[in-house]
Amino acid sequence: MRRNNRLKINILSILLIPPCFLLAQGAISVSLLPEKCLTEPEVQLAGMINSYRAEKGLPPVTISASLSYVARTHAEDLADNYKQSKRCNMHSWSGKGNWTSCCYTDDHKRAACMWSKPRELTSYTANGYEIAYYTTQTYTSPAEYAHDILKGWKGSPGHNETIINRGIWKKVKWNAMGVGLSGGYACVWFGEETDPAGSPSSCK
C-alpha cells in the first residue's frame, strides 16, 4: 500500500499575464552564485523530465545553475518552514531568508512573488515558473524517487502541460530548467531565457 502522497496543482492561465518588474537590487551576481551541485535524485529527475519531453517530440531543456539554486533554496525553505495551509500553497516563501516572503494563494494574486524569485536570488533576469510536489513516501533508490515525482506531475494536467508545453504553455519555449529537492519537497523551475551562469555540476 502506498503511503500518503500530496500533490498541489497551482498552474492556471493567470501565469501568462506578463508582470512588470524592476530587477531586485539584492540579486546575486553570476560570479557570487553559491555552488549547489545537483544530487543524484535531482540529476535523475532532470533526466527523466527531458526523456519524457523527448517522447513528445520536444527538445531537452538545459539545466540551469541559477534556476537550480532557486529550486533547491525553495525546497529547503519549504522543508524547514512551510506549514500545510488551506490558504498558503507550496509556492509560498517564508520570511526566514534573503528573499521577499509571501503567502501564495490559489487565486494567484501573489503570482509576482514566484515569478520574480530568480531575479531576487540570482542574476537570471527572466521570469521563473515553478511546479512543486510533496511526498512522505520512503524510496529505495534515487531513480524510484524521481520516477514517483514525475509520475505525480504527469497525472496532473496543469503540471503536465507545463513540462511538455501544452495548453497555455504551447507557444512557450523553455530554455532553462532548475531542479531542487529537500525533505520530501520537489521544486522544478522553468524559464524562457538561457542562463548566463551555465549548468550546475553533479555532486561527487
pLDDT digits (tens, 9 = 90+) for 83-139: 987 789 999 999 999 999 999 988 888 888 889 999 999 999 999 999 999 999 999
Q: Is the confidence at residue 29, as pLDDT, over 50?
A: no
> What is the reported pTM?
0.83
Q: Is the confidence at residue 164, as pLDDT, over 80?
A: yes
What is the pLDDT confidence band of residue 2, given thresholds at 50, 70 and 90?
very low
What is the pLDDT confidence band of residue 34, given thresholds at 50, 70 and 90?
low
Q: How many CA atoms lie within 13 A of 24 on its CB side?
A: 22
- The phi and psi torsions of 129 (rounded to 5 degrees) equal -125, 130
- Collapsed DSSP state (helix, strand, coil) of residue 135: strand
- Residues sharing a CB contact under 8 Å with residue 91, sequence separation 6 or more, in sequence order: 10, 104, 113, 114, 130, 132
Runs of H (alpha helix) within 65-188:
65-81, 111-115, 117-121, 142-154, 157-163
**pLDDT value at residue 111:** 85
Contact between 158 and 30 under an 8 Å Cβ cutoff? The reply is no
Contact between 44 and 142 under an 8 Å Cβ cutoff? The reply is yes
The H helix count followed by the E strand count for the chain is 6, 4
Q: How far apart are alpha carbons 184 and 136 in whole angstroms?
A: 6
**pLDDT value at residue 202:** 94
**pLDDT value at residue 25:** 31
